Amino acid sequence: MAVTGILLALFLIAHMLGNLKVFTGETSFDHYAHWLRDIGKPLLPGVWFLWILRTVLVVAVVAHIVAATVLARRARAARPVKYAHRKKVNGSYAARTMRWGGVIILLFVIYHLLDLTTGALNPVGDASKPYGNVVADFAPERWYVTLFYTLAILAVGFHLRHGAFSAFRSLGQQTPRGERRARTAALIFAVLLCAGYLVVPFAVLTGLVS
Ligand code: HEM
């Protein structure tokens, strides 16, 4: 759970930082997107690096889901008889919504790939023009796309907040003071990541990026 979670979180950080290049202009953003396809050349031919990265991501997502299922089953097996009187659920909102949050994120990623990677659901949908695709996607008249992205990114934020908190606790932050520290660090991480993602669609929506 932790290893795959860390891998996915590293991807999310790198992807968010890459997206911010949209503020450096069309030429620079498109150049960056094309460079992503060239990483590893000439050692690796064609778009091999990209496909290795994609394979690692898919394996990490599948393993993350399998690990979550195994852990949930184990937790259920440890208490085969249901509580007659279920106590008020402990834990934060994020902790209680990990499963459905994960499903929403997965559905979002499928939509997102059809939108900005294959271009099938994008008004421009031209793989050679990633900047044009992003600007067309979040145009003011398509406010509902920005709304959908916002909800999905908030789901990512909640999911990451709880994931990061669990990771910090596994790393030893288990005293009351350590838990407080872990909670704060996880919150700051999730807020920064969400802000870094959300600033792009809102910059297009408000005309700052066009
Ligand atoms: C406003 C937020 C986001 C923007 C503007 C954005 C933008 C993009 C763009 C432009 C691409 C295509 C890159 C290319 O083919 O040149 C892309 C690919 C991708 N994005 Fe995002 N993204 C956002 C949020 C997310 C989030 C939250 C996730 C994960 C939960 C995510 C996961 C991916 C994945 C997996 C790919 C495919 C990478 C590949 O294999 O080519 N993105 N994104």
Q: What is the DSSP letter of 114?
A: I
Ligand 1 pocket, residue 156 CB under 6 Å = yes
- Quick: pLDDT tens for 168-200: 888 888 888 999 999 999 999 999 999 999 999
Ligand 1 pocket, residue 116 CB under 6 Å = yes
Terminal C-alpha separation, the chain: 40
The Cα-based distances of 177 to 158, 164, 169, 173, 182 in angstroms read: 22, 16, 11, 8, 9
Residue nearest to ligand 1 atom 43, measured at CA? 116
* CA 175 – ligand 1 centroid, Å: 38
| Mutation probe of ligand 1 site: the residue of 7, 12, 19, 115 with most atoms within 8 A of C-beta | 19
pLDDT of res. 85: 63
pLDDT of res. 66: 94
- Quick: pLDDT tens for 58-76: 999 999 999 988 988 898 8
Closest atom of ligand 1 relative to the 201 alpha carbon: 1
What mean pLDDT comes out for the span 130-143? Answer: 97
Residue 147 to residue 138: CA distance in whole angstroms: 9
Whole-model pTM? 0.91
With 80 as the cut, is the pLDDT of residue 97 above it?
Answer: no
* CA 15 – ligand 1 centroid, Å: 7
Confidence of residue 45 (pLDDT cuts 50, 70, 90): confident
